[in-house]
Each structure stands twice: as structure tokens, then as C-alpha cells.
Amino acid sequence: MNIQLIDTHCHLYGQEFAQDIRAVIERAENEGVRQFYLPAVDSEAHDAMLQLELDFPGKCFAMMGLHPCSVKEDYKEELALVGEWLGKRPFKAVGEIGLDYYWDKTFVAAQQEAFHQQIEWALQYQLPIVIHSRESMADSIRIVQEHQKGSLRGIFHCFTGTLEEAQQIIELGFYLGIGGVVTYKNTHLREVLKVVSMDQIVLETDAPYLTPVPFRGKRNESSYLKYIVEKIAEVKEISVEEAATITTANAKKIFGS
């Protein structure tokens, strides 16, 4: 099967891949994955992320942003670094940014401030945003609504929300990033996807996290994107080739490559 896939969200620069990254990329390419988009987390990971982009030119593409779980006491310094990087060289997106109320609510106000600031930078540089919205969907949607004047675009990464939330996101002109969760037994996501248009869906692994069935519990990698596109095709009752073609075209619309 000659399909082309794009992994719109993978942390392949992580320590989990330090020993075998070339084999990981090669396995993914053998499964049709042509591009890998690398979300930033914080300054500790920038060097590894940018090096991976250099090592695989035209395949790996870096984003720049401050992950909400990295918004701590020093978040103003971290944000300043993001601003510096965005002014220094081109990036494919501002990400991964947003809100995470799952682990710790100590820095909710700071997370929201960082989210607003990074959306402003995305608008300034005309870049898409990649949003992390764990246990924070209502606030995440509200903040995007506040900034959406017609030109803001991007992905709600790792979407696992309700149909109503999916429809709100789509009305904002944003895409749903669908990953390994769609393969899990106890998920309502498949019911949501039955209703949502394929034109609003992109594929992601979030590797090394959220590994799809049949490898759940093991390290995730981009070659497993095939299990995600196969499940989406099954849910939508279309061919894998069609699901691949549409989601790849959607990713190219967002990232412009």
C-alpha cells in the first residue's frame, strides 16, 4: 500500500529515542510516514529538538513554545526564551502550548498568561498553534475564541473531548489531532469521529506517549501512525488510502509544506 502520512505531533528528540532514532525514523518511513512535527516543551529540550531537525532535514520540523506543564516559578524567563527563538529563525508552529489542569493547579493563572502571550506571537509571525488542553477544554476553547479574528489556525492536540467540544473547535477553524486513544477499548472518541468531517482531522502519535493498540503500554513511535489511520478509516467507513490522503492534505494546509 503506497500511502503518505504525516505525524503532526511527536517528541522524537526525547531520551527514549536516544539509542535508536535512525531506526525509528526508518521504520516510520517504511510505513509511509513522510514528515515528523516536533513540539517544543521547554528550554531543557530545545537543543535536542533542534539537533534532530538538523539531522533529518526536510523530514523533522521543529515548533517553538512553552508546554503548560513547564509553566513554573521561572515561566517568565522560559517565555522570554520562546520569544527570542521565534524572532531568531523560522518555526513551523507555536507549540505545544495551552493549559493542563490535570497534574497541578498551582500555576493556572500563569499558564493562562503564557497561553495568551504565545497566541499573540503566533499571530505576529503568522504561525499555527498546537494546543495542549488536558482537563482544561472549556478554558482552552474560550481563550482561542478571544483571539480568533479570522487568521488564527492550528490543532487541538490529542483530542479526546465531547462532540460539542469538537464542533466548537471546528467552528473556530481548528483541527482535531487524533492519536492512539482512538484505538483504545473504552473511549467515546470513535463515536465523536463518526460525526466529525474528515476535513478537520489530522494524525499524531504523541510518541513516546499514548501508544496505540496493539502496543499499548510500550514506547510509542511514529511507525505506529498506521494503526491510528487504520482505525479512523474503519470508523469513517472509508479506505485507509482515502483517510491517509485527506489527513495528509489537512496537515499540509496547517503547516504549509
Binding-site residues from annotation for a divalent metal cation? 9, 11, 96, 132, 157, 206
Q: How many CB atoms lie within 10 A of CB 23?
A: 12
Judge residue 189's burial from the number of C-beta atoms within 10 Å of its C-beta, 0-12 exposed, 13-18 middle, 19 or more buried: buried
Q: Which parts of 39-194 are beta strand (E)?
A: 60-62, 94-100, 129-134, 154-156, 175-178
Largest pairwise CA distance in the chain: 50
**From CA 35, how far away is CA 22, in angstroms rounded?**
14
Please count the residues of the chain: 257
* Cell numbers that stand for 144 in this block: 482561542
**From CA 117, how far away is CA 121, in angstroms rounded?**
6
* Cell numbers that stand for 234 in this block: 474503519
* Cell numbers that stand for 213 in this block: 493498540
**Residue closest to 71 by CA, chosen among 24, 125, 11, 114:** 114
Are residues 98 and 136 in contact, defined by beta-carbon separation less than 8 angstroms? yes
Annotated binding site: 9, 11, 96, 132, 157, 206
Sheet bearing 175-178, strands edge to edge: 94-100, 129-134, 154-156, 175-178, 201-203
